[in-house]
Amino acid sequence: MDKILEGLISSDHSVPVKRAIVKKVVEAAENDVTEEQCRALFTLTTRLILLGDDAFQKQIGLQVLEAYARYHRPEFELFFSKDFVLSLLQQGYGELEHRDAAIIDYIHCCLRLLISCPSVLETFSVIQVEVLRMVCERPEPALCARLSTLLSDFMQCIPREKSAVLFCQQLVRTISCFQCFASEERELREYVGQVTKVSTLLQNIWKAEPATLLPSLQEVFAIISSTDPSFDPSIALASLVQHIPVQMITVLIKSLTTDQNVRDASMTKALSRMIDWLSWPLAQHVDTWVIALLKGLAAVQKFTILIDVTLLKIELVFSRLWYPIVRQGALAVLSHMLLSFQHSPEAFHLVVPLVGPLVQSLSTDGLPTSQAFLLQFTELIHCMMYQYSGFPDLYDHILEAIKGLPIPSEEKIKLVLNQSAWTSQSNSFASGLLRPAGKSETGRTGLINLGNTCYMNSIIQTLFMATDFRRHVLSLHLNGSNTLMKKLQLLFAFLAHTQRAAYAPRNFLEASRPPWFNVGSQQDCSEYLRFLLERLHEEEKTLHVLESAKPTVASLVETIGRDPTSPTSSEDCKDSHLVEAENQCANDGRTLIERMFGGKLITGIRCMQCNCISEKEEPFTDLSLAFCPSASSQGSPKAERPSEEAKVLCQGSVNGGSEAPESSCLTTSVQYEPVTNEPPLSVPDLVNYFLAPEILDEDNAYFCEKCISLQRAERTMKVVSAPEYLILTLLRFSYDAKSHVRKKILDNVIIPPALRLPVHASPIPVQWSSASSSPLQVDSPESSENLAKKLKPSQGEEEEERKLRIDEAEKINRERETSVQSVPYMLSSVVVHSGISSESGHYYSYGRNINGADGTQHSPINQNSASDQAACSLCTSEQGDVLPSSGLETRDWLLFNDCRVTFTSLQSVQNITNRFPKDTAYVLMYRKQELPGLNGNEGQTANGMRPSAEPPLQKELLDAIIKDNKLYLQEQELSARTQALQASSSSCSFRPNGSDDNNPPGSCGPSGGGGGGGGGGFNTISRLVF
């Protein structure tokens, strides 16, 4: 039969004739055939299959072999022995080498025919050894794919136990050597299919023997972390990622990033090559693993690696966005790389030129997924332009390309940026000692206590939370000057943009500390605030005067005032003067402090004997509110106070000329005022008490210039110009002249979220006294006769004239008094003093977390009727800010406690004294609200100067922040490495963050403000003053 078949193949018969004869030969397989004939047929068919000249011969050989092996299995077992298989795998067949894929296919076919035979077990054992040897020889993708198909069908051929681990490792290394030379799509698809078969084999082995998984992954990392310049592993390794269980990410990444044996250069290589895997078309979860490794490195603070890899690979990742098949994964990695790279705009600016063309392509390619992808991409770009504003020359073409697409809200952008930073505490891979000392979940920066500097820290955070003031300060063009305002601007820039959890304001402390403040001693925050605002005001006013009077001298003064180490060109100086002069003209010469915090009071004194009125207008930046001396005053804010002494009690601040002799009603034998059982006062009560008329008599009698004697008089105070930010100081500290101690009034004061301040129209400023009552001020000279009469009036005429003037003035002022505007204010910040005396304790502050592009605090405020003059003349409270059922209020307020910044609520602010009796509100800041329907120049905004958004950072500020952020990342990385080395031999007590409801915010424990690092922390030794 073999001779017939061989002759048929070599004959010249047509193919149909040959097929018909072959069919007869196949049918003859059912007949009895001798062992020698079977062997001859098996030998012939094997030669046809492996060495056939064409596909027809190979097909004939395969048909005949399968037929005779099925009906004559014992004979085929003898033919396809383990020795024959071994010779095929080691020596090949005829002209074929042992590495030829045809041999693997032949063995695969024969194993299918012998699967039920006992002798096949011996063949399996031979194949187990040989396939391990073959894999170690690094076969080509085609051969490896055939081998994988064989092993996937016959798992018994896969090496076992230790050999299985070695086989998987060698198979991984074989995949790393795959190279693709495809130039056509068909060839590329074939290559990807081959790689997929090999990776599927590994997946099956990992499932069958889980012990092989971890060594395989270790081999993958060893390959991709190699720094050998002559070896570049194939991105085909990406095909393995989709087969690694996702639940192993946390454990594997944590183990990998904390391994001290992995050098930085190796980790950099590994991360770079994993990013290259984003180009593999069919791999799933590559982006998940890349992002996990990025987070893991951030958790152990290996920022140098992150910086190097981001700058090296960011453009390559961006280029993957052009290919729909890998686009989504590439965007995920790109988003994480850009959003986490917050210390510098360098990475974002590398891809800025590439944004426009990609947006244009996505807008016009017509793919159904492109529009949804475009929305995600533009949201990322908006976040980055918000983070690094101030580059209009770079961003103009981007804005033009993405116009018309949705813009994310400022609140969402801030949330995304806060959660994405390398130092974010939301990083799930950070734990224990290696948790990065990053910002809290609030995204705000704390201030380090430099030694009893909590008074300064609380005031700085309060000013920083004054949104309009902060934005104006950051918008100033100071161009390298060395003024206090420049230092405040730099401090605000760091608070807004630093990566540090807490910033140390050493330079600002040295520049702003009042000369009489002792270094390292506790001081009064309200006194510091007054001094700071006065310094800033006088500094700006002086510069305005010098520039307007002598521009050349002003230029010289500014040059002298500049930091000598910072070179500034003459063009910069010119620009600075122009900007400042322009601002001066736009703001009518008023300083920034006047525009933001400045208001005006009119103090009027009326002699009760002659009814002469003397009025004086005075500016103010804060109102010092004394406590009512008796309970009777609480119920009637307008009650007349008995004497001047009662009013001036405690007016001023501690340690700075503010102590006033204490009245007998407040005298006590201890160093703090006992809390009474009377109904608590409210802030409007104290404001009304401040503005209420009072009688001056006895020791405080008024000297009337008209009467030329001490007379009983009435003094009134009116606010005639409302500040943009109303600062109220509660005078809680007093001095007892008898016991010679300073005391603190611990009475609780109700703090309304909103109040209305009565603002009067300014009356005619005329002094009605004999010294200033010139007839020419009222009557115009009609003739020389009238003039003579007025120059020498009789006593009766003079009395009549005086009464007419008084009547006329009172009529005009009564008309003006009817125009009392009730200006609404919303609570912005509260500074709290914790302690029982002025010489000890702690300051911390609450600030309202303002969201929105314009920074406006919107709350429903009831509009008073214009005819309700009784209500308008009093300060009243509003409750428009209370939202008990919203569930969002807990994020409306922030607690600034030196390094620590946490979310809190309005209820915590209002109930602080109830929960912690020694913690009392001291300085309050209210922000004026816009009045609907008003279009005058008075009030609503800072003279039309309310910025609509956070201003872009100027180059000088941005460079300083970038430099410090890089330094900070280096410090954190060095610290993390040191801690990792010492972790095994050291132990410490770590206490996690706690709620501010657990301990007083001013306490010395980890939840207080005395510690470092921003939140929670190590146990510290308590101290009285900190």
Among candidates 47, 177, 159, which has minimal Cα distance to 102?
Answer: 47
Out of 454, 525, 612, 872, which one is annotated catalytic? 454
The question of whether 454 is a catalytic residue gets the answer: yes
- CA-wise closest residue to 692 among 428, 886, 470, 874: 874
Is the CB of residue 59 less than 8 Å from the CB of residue 9?
no
Contacts of residue 585, defined as CB under 8 A and 6 or more positions apart, other chains included, come to none
Name the catalytic one among 72, 382, 760, 842: 842
Q: What are phi and psi of 845, to 5 degrees?
A: -140, 155
Per-residue buried b or exposed e for 826-858, using 16+ beta carbons within 10 Å of the residue's own CB: bbbbbbbbbbbbbbebbbbbbbbbbbeebbbbe
Measure the CA–CA gap between 245 and 989, rounded to whole angstroms.
Answer: 35
The answer to whether 925 and 449 are in contact (CB under 8 A) is no
DSSP state letter for 235: G
Integer Cα distance of 1019 and 434 in angstroms: 17
DSSP-based three-state secondary structure for 824: strand
Indicate the burial class of 667 (C-beta count within 10 angstroms; 0-12, 13-18, 19 or more): middle
Measured between alpha carbons, how far is 134 from 147 in angstroms, rounded to an integer?
9
Task: Name the amino acid, one letter, at 217.
Answer: L
Amino acid letter for position 768: W
Q: Which two tokens stand for residue 775?
A: 């007839």
Would you state the structure tokens that stand for residue 820, as one six-digit string? 């009392």
Burial of 429 (0-12, 13-18, 19+ CB in 10 A): buried
**Separation CA 960–CA 566 (nearest Å):** 12
The helix (run of H) or strand (run of E) holding residue 830 is: strand 820-834
User: How far is CA 707 from each of CA 70, 483, 611, 795, 798, rounded to the nearest angstrom?
Assistant: 138, 50, 10, 14, 14
- In angstroms, the CA 460 to CA 702 distance is 41
Residues 1011, 1017, 1020, 1024, CA torsion sign = positive
Nearest residue to 62 via CA among 16, 14, 8, 105: 105
Q: For residue 237, give the DSSP letter.
A: G
Q: How far apart are the C-alpha atoms of 541 and 626, rounded to whole Å? A: 31
Residue with tokens 């994964």: 329
The two beta strands, 502-503 and 446-447, are parallel
DSSP run (H or E) holding 904? strand 900-904
Residue type, 199: S
What does the DSSP assignment read for 508-565? HHHHHS-TTSPTTS---HHHHHHHHHHHHHHHHHHHHHHHHH-HHHHHHHHHHHB-TT
Q: Could you list the active site residues? A: 454, 842
